[in-house]
Chains A and B, each alone.
Chain A
Amino acid sequence: MSIEVAGPVIAAMMTAATPLLFAALGELVVEKSGVLNLGVEGMMLGGAVVGFAAAVLTGSSAVGFVAGALAGLLLAALFGVLTLGLFTNQVATGLALTLFGVGLSSLVGQGYVGHPIADVPELHIPVLTDLPIIGQPLFGQSLPVYLALAAVPAVHWFLFRTRAGLVLRAVGENHTAAHALGYKVIRIRFLAVLFGGAMSGLGGAYLSLDYTPMWAEGMTAGRGWIALALVVFATWKPGRVLAGAWLFGGVTILQLHAQGVGFAVPSQLLSMLPYLATVLVLVLISRDVTRIRLNAPASLGKIFYPD
């Protein structure tokens, strides 16, 4: 591969990582609060279809993104009411949410299939964007790509540098103790779940508004599950989520390039990679009991019954 291709490849890797980043960062916050929401794929689809519909109706992608986030948030609210309010099993409810999202998005999207829209414009900063190789990937992407990148330090800062983040982590580690200290466990978790939903919705909206500006049934094609795997792969650390999103997004792009120059890599093997890598990480952290204690929120997926 020649050096001229490097710039476009890096740019493509960044865009491929963007929906994964949004969804995984949202889910990371949810899991840090002690809730496991397996409905990411469904919420992403909800965000994709509602975001697209809103953009078609208003002619504005910005409105589309906001609507996508709201759709994800609403679906997450449903999950929150069931799991936190009615104490349903989180795993089963999350799976149900994905099924619901798949079906509902097909229904809502029926009138929007095959509807072309204008995509989100890419930035063009004079001089910077025109730099060789790095100009396009670093300074010539559309705004949501930078938003997703900015969300990494923002989530890190919130979780590890603010009081609210500390409380959220405390709730995720030991909800009984946090409750005894007077923190509103259910309310904090509900807010975390809403944030996760909005981020998943943004990830979905990015797919239907910018990445491939159209709506197609089931267009997330398993990216929600990859985002879930990514959180575990990153051992609940935002910085590592970025690395993982680049790795998983990048592998796809590199594999397509490799095929194009006649270098055959079995693509099925590469589609397995995110899950294989996650299993590997799970094996590694479970070998070292102290490390998993440090990373996985201790109350993850456990139901909290307020007394």
Chain B
Amino acid sequence: MGKALMGAAAVAALCSLGAGAAVAQDKMKVGFVYVGPISDHGYSFQHDQGRLAVEKTLGDKVTTTFVENVPEGADAERVIEQLAASGHKLIFTTSFGFMNPTLKVAQRYPDVKFEHATGYKRAKNVATYSARFYEGRTVVGTIVGKMTKSNIVGYIGSFPIPEVVGGINAFTIALREQNPKAEVRVVWVNSWYDPPKEAEAAKALIDQGADVIVQHTDSPAPVQAAEERGLWSVGQSSDMSRFGPKSHLTGIVDDWSGYYIQRVQAVLDGTWKAEDTWGGLKDKMLYLAPYNPAIPADVVALANTVRDGIMDGSRHSFTGPIKDQSGKVVIPAGQKATDEQILKMDWFVEGVVGKLPK
């Protein structure tokens, strides 16, 4: 209901854009479609930072347009279609739920290029891209393993999809490498963004003895809750330290700037291909938020060693032997999980308390 209204508003806003934006004829138009508000200081905000980086570096050759708060579904198709019809040559659709709308519109506009984030379907003019967020979680797990005193870590999950499950597993493996006694308690809130519910989940985990709260949801509410109780927290998507100056250890920050600039440049050069990009720390698609000064120097050094190891390929987040919760070896010693296995992860590693909702 509210979504429909938002969608209508987004379409209306887009229609009025045509009138307002006086575009020089020689500049290529690039469009961005966001699922949330750019003011969310999280996921959509980071995508918009990428757009601004494109403006900054290639502003003499391209102009950019963005539409925020686009609901996933039929409205998304209208918005994407509008962008394609109004002369945008490259369109980034930045949420998983935009996958099918993007492909539909792409069929009707073969001369427009599309980039869809976090999806798995490609076409002649549709590329996909995502970041290996789990690499950052390995570094975070290393730090938390050294910082926890109660050996109980609370982890707030959004939805039990492979990206989140893989993140929990990568975190837990690194955590227990430093601290074999530590366990991870997972609570699902079934939402990407529901501040009150995320805070409730954080408080419930703290009441159960967790002294570090890690989140895979987008609001800073868990960081706030940890700050209030004087415990540690780890943020998500963007630097959330101002919501918990004392508690925020670090966080995983999405960084799309480099990728966006590179792809826009490729279209300008005529070298653009519809491929899949799944970049990690070394591709600078994510980085770690500034470390809390309270983290001891030796822990910082250790975290940086782990990070550098991932970047130079000497270390992999999922290196065997890895056992699942029942103690069965899933990834044997000497092997690494394949990308396929990571993309389909639907099991918890040893050390995670809680069942995976099926």
What residues make up the interface of A, taking CB atoms closer than 8 Å to B? Answer: 5, 8-9, 12, 16, 95, 98-99, 102-103, 106, 110-111, 113-114, 116, 119, 207, 211-214, 216-219, 221, 223, 252-253, 256-257, 259-262, 264, 266-268, 271
Contact = CB atoms under 8 A, between A and B. Distances in A.
Nearest to A45: B2
Interface of B: 1-2, 5-6, 9, 36-37, 39-41, 69, 154, 185-191, 193-201, 203-205, 207-208, 219-221, 224-225, 228, 242-243, 353-355, 357
Contacts of A8: 203, 207
Given A114-B39, A119-B228, A256-B187, A103 B357 contact: no
A261 B195 contact: no
B204 A256 contact: yes
A62 B205 CA distance: 30
A98 B1 CA distance: 10
Contacts of A259: 185-188, 354
A217 B357 contact: no
Contact of B40 (A114, A252, A253): A114
Contacts of A217: 36-37, 40
Contacts of B354: 259-260, 262, 264
B60 to A, nearest CB: 30
B42 to A, nearest CB: 8
A39 B191 CA distance: 23
Contact of A257 (B41, B189, B204): B204
A95 B1 CA distance: 10
Contact of A214 (B208, B243, B357): B243
13 contacts: A12-B207, A102-B2, A106-B69, A116-B243, A207-B196, A212-B225, A221-B196, A257-B204, A257-B208, A264-B357, A267-B188, A267-B189, A271-B190
A106 B68 CA distance: 12
Contacts of A266: 357
Contacts of B200: 12, 16, 252-253, 256
A259 B210 CA distance: 14
A119 B37 CA distance: 24
A5 B40 CA distance: 33
Nearest to B190: A267
A106 B187 CA distance: 28
Given A211-B199, A260-B154, A262-B353, 7 more contacts: A113-B40, A212-B196, A212-B221, A214-B221, A221-B196, A221-B197, A252-B200
A16 B200 CA distance: 8
Nearest to A110: B39
B224 A213 contact: yes
Nearest to A221: B194
